[in-house]
């Protein structure tokens, strides 16, 4: 079955960077975009962007442009999201998710999620 | 401030039906497909509805979706206490070039 396993919780200081990993199994990794979203404590879902593991193409939400970098390594079926110049309001759970794929008309939603990685920005 | 508008909370008795609305605009719901997630505290979201009204395999037909104009609606019939969760609508926004979400609706089954 499809499984996405994310790296563990992180505590970072303001201005630092964090890199979250997402290791996939149970499906053809190169064939599906990986989506990244986040959820601040007690808040709703927020779109971060996506990466096409096959081509390396990425698309980032305007909010994160210039601070986020998504990469992938197909040899180990892993995707990464790095967020730099961290601020206190970047404290959130970061989720990776496998795009639903071509069997839909809609875009960029998922039926398979990682467990989430809590990133805490604290001085 | 979320791009899509949902009621913060809804409630109904076990066995009853509830609907959750999701209001947007022509740049998002009006010209794109709506999906819905269910989320329990401390867990990742779960896909309930996609393409406005389709259910992934394993989702019971108590859950339904519809769309009209710039609004989407999630319906849940035969409410169970296990349905108590947060529900989020989402879709692509062609102006923002991003996925946008509602602020979430907390369902209470009284």
Given this model, what pLDDT does residue A107 score? 86
The predicted model gives B4-8 an average pLDDT of: 98
Cα dihedral A105, A110, A34, A9, rounded to 10, equals 160
Q: For all residues of chain A together, what is the average pLDDT?
A: 96
Asked whether residue A69 carries a pLDDT value surpassing 90, the answer given is yes
Given this model, what pLDDT does residue A105 score? 81
Beta-carbon contacts of residue A60 (< 8 Å; ≥ 6 apart) = A48, A49, A68, A70
Closest CA to A119 of A1, A57, A40: A40
Chain A residues with CB within 8 Å of chain B CB: 35, 37, 44-47, 59, 61-62, 95, 97, 100, 104-111, 113-116
Top pLDDT among B88 and B1 is at B88
| Cβ atoms B44, A95 nearer than 8 A | yes
Q: Alpha-carbon distance B72 to B54, whole Å?
A: 13
**Who among A35, A106, A114 is closest to B50 (CB)?**
A106
| Cβ atoms A92, A117 nearer than 8 A | no
- Going by their DSSP bridges, the two strands B35-39 and B46-49 should be labelled as antiparallel
**Who among A44, A46, A114 is closest to B44 (CB)?**
A114
Asked whether residue A70 carries a pLDDT value surpassing 90, the answer given is yes
Beta-carbon contacts of residue A86 (< 8 Å; ≥ 6 apart) = A12, A13, A14, A15, A16, A17, A18, A119, A121
pLDDT one-digit tens code per residue, B18-77: 999 999 999 999 999 999 999 999 999 999 999 999 999 999 999 999 999 999 999 999
Shortest alpha-carbon distance between residue B51 and chain A (Å): 6
- Could you tell me the pLDDT band of residue A82, with boundaries at 50, 70 and 90? very high
Quick one: DSSP state of residue B27? T
Q: Nearest chain A residue to B99 by CA: give it.
A: A47
The predicted model gives A15-43 an average pLDDT of: 97
**In terms of C-beta density within 10 A (0-12 exposed, 13-18 middle, 19 or more buried), how is residue A123 classed?**
exposed
Given this model, what pLDDT does residue A106 score? 79
Asked whether residue A49 carries a pLDDT value surpassing 90, the answer given is yes
| Cβ atoms B21, B6 nearer than 8 A | yes
Given this model, what pLDDT does residue B1 score? 87
Asked whether residue A108 carries a pLDDT value surpassing 90, the answer given is yes
Asked whether residue B87 carries a pLDDT value surpassing 90, the answer given is yes
Given this model, what pLDDT does residue A50 score? 97
Given this model, what pLDDT does residue A104 score? 84
Given this model, what pLDDT does residue B10 score? 98
Asked whether residue A102 carries a pLDDT value surpassing 90, the answer given is no
Given this model, what pLDDT does residue A87 score? 98
DSSP, residue by residue, A60-87: E-GGGTTTEEEEEETTTTEEEEEE-S--
């Amino acid at each position: 079955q499809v499984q996405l396993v994310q790296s563990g919780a992180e505590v970072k200081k303001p201005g630092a960077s964090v890199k979250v990993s997402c290791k996939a199994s149970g499906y053809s990794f190169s064939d599906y975009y990986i989506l990244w979203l986040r959820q601040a404590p007690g808040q709703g879902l927020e779109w971060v962007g996506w990466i096409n593991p096959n081509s390396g193409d990425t698309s980032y939400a305007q909010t994160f442009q210039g601070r986020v970098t998504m990469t992938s390594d197909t040899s180990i079926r892993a995707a990464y999201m790095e967020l730099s110049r961290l601020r206190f309001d970047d404290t959130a759970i970061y989720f990776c998710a496998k795009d639903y794929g071509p069997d839909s008309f809609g875009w960029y939603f998922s039926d398979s999620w990682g467990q989430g990685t809590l990133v805490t920005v604290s001085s | 401030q979320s791009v899509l508008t949902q009621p913060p909370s809804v409630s109904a008795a076990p066995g009853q039906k509830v609907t959750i609305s999701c209001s947007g605009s022509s740049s998002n719901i009006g010209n794109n497909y709506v999906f819905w997630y269910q989320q329990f505290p401390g867990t990742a979201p779960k896909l309930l509805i996609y393409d406005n009204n389709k259910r992934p395999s394993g989702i019971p037909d108590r859950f339904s979706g519809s769309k009209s104009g710039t609004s989407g609606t999630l319906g849940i019939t035969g409410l169970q206490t296990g349905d108590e969760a947060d529900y989020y609508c989402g879709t692509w926004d062609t102006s923002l070039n991003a996925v946008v979400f509602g602020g979430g609706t907390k369902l209470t089954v009284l």
